[in-house]
Amino acid sequence: MSNRELLKIIGEIKNCDMRRFSELYEAFEMLIRHFERKSDFDDAAEDLTLFLLELIYSVDTDKFFPDGS
């Protein structure tokens, strides 16, 4: 997923349009599963997913410049 596409999806989610959250989740799912396995915490995947949502709403996308990578 390119930076430009990532910023577009984040903007849509911040505007209460959750239709593309699954695309964003798929981009980070392997990372979430990796840290879930490394953790001894039973609900690690759920907590990491919640963290991802909180991060989406807190990130200031105006500070990012999409470069197509």
Each residue's pLDDT tens digit, 13-36: 999 999 999 999 999 999 999 999
Beta carbons within 8 Å of 44's beta carbon, 6+ residues apart: 35, 36
Residue 69: the pLDDT is 56
Distance CA 10, CA 22 (A): 12
8: pLDDT strictly greater than 70? yes
